[in-house]
Amino acid sequence: ETNLKFRQALLVTHQELQSEESMAAFDGRVRCEEPNSRLGTFTGTLRWRGRTHALDGDRILLRGCRVRNTALCHGLVLYAGFDSKIMRNSGKIKRKKTKLDQLMDRLVIVIFLLLLATSLALAVASGFWARTFQEKHSYLAALYQHTSPAHQAFLNFWGFTILLSIIIPMSMYITFEFIYLVNSCFINWDLEMYYGAKDIPAEARSTSLSDQLGQIQYIFSDKTGTLTQNIMSFKKCCVNGTIYGSGTGHENKQPQGSGLSWEHPGEQKSGVCDVTLLEAAQRDSDPVLREFLRLLALCHTVMAEDRGDQLVYQAASPDEEALVLAARSLGYVFLARTQDSITIRELGKTRTYELLAMLDFNSDRKRMSVLVRDPQGTIRLYTKGADTVILDRLRSRGPQESLTERALDRFAEETLRTLCVASREVSEAEFRAWGRRHREAAALLGERARELDGLYEEMEQNLQLLGATAIEDKLQDGVPETIQLLKLGNIKVWVLTGDKQETAMNIGYACRLLTDDMEILEEKEVSSCPIPSSSHSEILQAYWESNNNLSGHGDTPCSLSQQHPETPCHKRAIIISGDFLVRILHTGEVLKERKGWPWQWLCCGRAEASQDQGALVEKAFVDLATSCQAVICCRVTPKQKALMVQLVKKHKKAVTLAIGDGANDVNMIKTADIGVGISGLEGLQAVQCSDYALAQFSFLQRLLLVHGRWNYLRICKFLRCFFYKTFAGLLAQVWFAFHSGFTAQPLYEGWFLALYNIFYTAYPVLSVGLFEQDVSAKKSLEFPELYVVGQQDELFNYRVFGVTLLHGVGTSLISFYITLWAFEDHVGTKVVGDYESFSVTVALSALLSVLVEIVLDTQYWTVLSFLMVTASLLLFCLFSFLTQTVDAYRIAPAIFRFPDASWNALTDPYVLLVVLLSLVVNTLPSLTVHAIRATLGRASTQQRIQLRARRAPEPPVELRSHVPRGSLRR
């Protein structure tokens, strides 16, 4: 993490251990949890001088962190070596595998089984051939005196297995990794994805997932910092029912003649959202406004750093910094904090508040509070959080609260981030009783978190609403255009955010995820009955009924058996909340808790029935959501974000991508098939857990539509070419067995077999995997429909593998039997007709056929592509003549067994004509197929480009206020 975190020693040790002598005499005893990998939590206690002090994550320094604003500190080592948390997090990580990786693993097994089956069949044939040979040639019985047909078949089985083992694509995996590495470098080097404003390039943190970037079907995106800039500015507020911040252009101005100057020269600037608000703060006549601003200056975890003439704030989140800066611009300046105090300047007067307790924020509580004692001795609780949790904890509801709720709706419609703030006075007796139980709960080891949550809940009741804040977080540049392109590429974008529904919905309109012609389904329209009790079809049935009613049709709603939920009649979007997800998935969560013994043993039948029911409800919900063009989930927790990704992967078997910028997106990023981290203002945790790191959401269009599609195309073509050249060149060994008595006699020279996959055919195939393109980057972005090819697995699947296998078999048959036909009964004084020449001719025919096929299949040529094809031919000639010289044969006749074979064969015009004939016959089918496709207009790329060209452009969407959330028109 790059942002500053607040860490403090225990107050008692900070005050007592001030010298080396006192530290040497320290005899405290620490009890803490066992070593674990949880970086964000720690539970322990210090027992010293008869008292127990609570230890939590704010009291420890983790290995690897950097200390700032501290000259010197002393500590007690709790975990060391492999027990430290950072080492516990460096264990085994589950490797993500692409769809092509998984397919390849299965195909390798298929090829291995084919190898065994072929070897077994040839071995059995060799046994029968040996018996027949013995019967026909009894005068050669001495040759088989110490063997039998069965023994001969057994030996030949292993001989054929070794001879044909070269078709197992082991070298392919090495080439695979190299292609992945280079394609990842292409992503890193792409200047179109370089963010010059912050000097941040794109980074491929994983090198083995690049092809899956071309197969994404669902994108799960965070909102804050991902779609938006995460640069917060305080725009509006509602205090005691009055809205401040008109947005009329008067922001950031001081009132004339006010003489107010709360900020020192050089400090962080934060404009005033409304002159009227500044004047009201200056008058100091409204006690509610005074408490509102005091809360903004006190209720936070911001740290202040005094740099001489400059006061700089370090905040864990941009929201907190924006609120503290707003309070400072209005005269309530946060100055400093210690372990037990917070100092602020209120309208020029410095006041120090005693910090009694801090009730921390987390994603489940959705609020934070501070308990302070003011200089007059009054104890007050200040709370800020989401409107849904604050409004439920108010002492009473009156006209001011209703006005604030309407203001919240108005702020949300303007895409502003909202918070409610409230406070209450706490009596001394209540605090003493609560504080005693708080200290006892903080000293627990096992149930500390649960007990503290209960105490926090008890204290945060009977609140008085002070008002609401509205913070602006603008969209990043290019977000609407990016989402539009992704939608045209048949990629569905789901937004998962912690903001309230209206804010998320209006951001959806602003970024063109939602459009005016879309039918918006809200959770209350999806199902009116409690979800856990719903049957499998009730959710979808309610969906279809809602569809017909909202569309204005009076007909009877269509049954589920008549319509398929994944074939929508028109554009739809669904907007749901985290509470709805809790209800919809409640059954599944309960079942997870009850899976273990003795529940299954005691209630096996009922548990299985409930589990099936829960799975059906989950599937019905996923069917409904995936039938929509857009999904927005608001007020969701990090766990729910990951759960949404997991549900789509589980029920749709779809390739998913998650993108986010904060620590709350880590679970989602890890769960998705591809995780993308945005280098934003919330630290580097999301980036460090991601597979790809970008600086802007808009770079996602180039990452997927250009690099992703190219990489998928390259890998698929590489696989096709690799399997083809392997089968085409090496299956001739099988056909040779039928003419050599099934004796496992190799057709080719050993050096040809050794170098075929390394030098002779590796480079052209490698060039396809590195440089191949069907269209340019500009065309890829201009016609995003081309992306559908990867989503549908069109370029490589079982069918394509089968066709490639048959193509390779055909090439090997033609190369072998044309040569065999040409060499039969071919005798003469200067005629080449020996076994070595036959072997060289078949090898050259197969090699040239493979190279020409790769050349015909290559659409994008570079200088390196040309050099690689040329190098293959030159290396074949070079090694053929080097390994077949007479001198080499004299030195090692057992190794170099083909003396002058290539020279004798390739200088014979007859052999060259045979090679040419084989090449023409092998190439003719491919040329015919290419010609037919071109004639019939079936070239897939051209067809998809023409499809987009005929499409009328959609009108732009303007950001404006939409229908209120209570309306059924949405």
Q: Which of 272-281, 491-500, 640-649 has the lowest mean pLDDT?
A: 272-281
Query: What is the average per-residue pLDDT within 935-951?
Result: 54
Question: Is 222 marked active-site?
Answer: yes
**Binding site annotation covers 29?**
no
pLDDT for 540 beyond 60: no
**Binding site annotation covers 641?**
yes
As a whole number of angstroms, the distance between CA 42 and CA 300 comes to: 21
**Binding site annotation covers 652?**
no
Which pLDDT value is given to residue 940? 55
Which pLDDT value is given to residue 968? 34
Which pLDDT value is given to residue 683? 63
**Binding site annotation covers 661?**
yes
Confidence band of 675 (pLDDT split at 50, 70, 90): very high
- Please tell me the class of the 203-227+476-704 domain: alpha beta
pLDDT for 476 beyond 90: no
pLDDT for 113 beyond 80: yes
Confidence band of 246 (pLDDT split at 50, 70, 90): low
**Binding site annotation covers 354?**
no
**Binding site annotation covers 667?**
no
Model pLDDT for residues 586-640, shown as the tens digit of each residue:
534 444 444 443 434 344 544 455 556 667 778 888 888 888 889 999 888 888 8
Write down the pTM of the prediction. 0.77
Catalytic position from the list 211, 222, 473, 673: 222
**Binding site annotation covers 320?**
yes
pLDDT for 889 beyond 70: yes
**Binding site annotation covers 309?**
no
**Binding site annotation covers 499?**
yes
**Binding site annotation covers 223?**
yes
Q: Which percentage of the chain shows pLDDT scores above 90?
A: 40
Residues 6+ apart with CB under 8 A from 353: 298, 341, 342, 343, 344, 372, 373, 374, 375
CB 478 within 8 A of CB 696: yes
The torsion defined by the Cα of 743, 747, 750 and 752, in degrees rounded to 10, comes to -160
Q: Which residues of 620-650 are buried (b: 16+ CB within 10 A; e: fewer)?
A: bbbbbbbbbbbbbbbbbbbebbbbbbebbbe
**Binding site annotation covers 492?**
no
Which pLDDT value is given to residue 970? 34
pLDDT for 665 beyond 50: yes
Model pLDDT for residues 359-373, shown as the tens digit of each residue:
988 767 889 999 999
As a whole number of angstroms, the distance between CA 67 and CA 130 comes to: 81
pLDDT for 183 beyond 70: yes
Model pLDDT for residues 248-288, shown as the tens digit of each residue:
433 444 444 334 444 544 455 555 567 889 989 999 889 99
Domain with CATH 3.40.50.1000 in the chain: 203-227+476-704
Which pLDDT value is given to residue 740? 87
Checking phi first, is residue 552 left (phi over 0); if not, alpha (psi -120 to 50) or beta?
Answer: left
Confidence band of 140 (pLDDT split at 50, 70, 90): confident
Query: What is the average per-residue pLDDT within 411-440?
Result: 91
**Binding site annotation covers 665?**
yes
Which own/partner pairs from 748-753 qualify as long-range (CB within 8 Å, at least 24 positions apart)? 748/839, 748/842, 748/843, 749/836, 749/839, 749/840, 749/843, 749/883, 749/884, 749/897, 749/898, 749/901, 750/895, 750/897, 751/879, 751/883, 751/896, 752/839, 752/843, 752/880, 753/166
Domain with CATH 3.40.1110.10 in the chain: 233-472
Confidence band of 323 (pLDDT split at 50, 70, 90): very high
CB 708 within 8 A of CB 210: yes
- Please tell me the class of the 233-472 domain: alpha beta
> Could you tell me which residues are beta bridge partners of residue 660?
677
Model pLDDT for residues 44-95, shown as the tens digit of each residue:
999 998 888 888 888 899 887 888 778 888 889 999 988 888 777 665 557 7
Which pLDDT value is given to residue 919? 94
Q: Which percentage of the chain shows pLDDT scores above 70?
A: 83
Model pLDDT for residues 568-585, shown as the tens digit of each residue:
446 888 888 887 887 776
pLDDT for 545 beyond 60: no
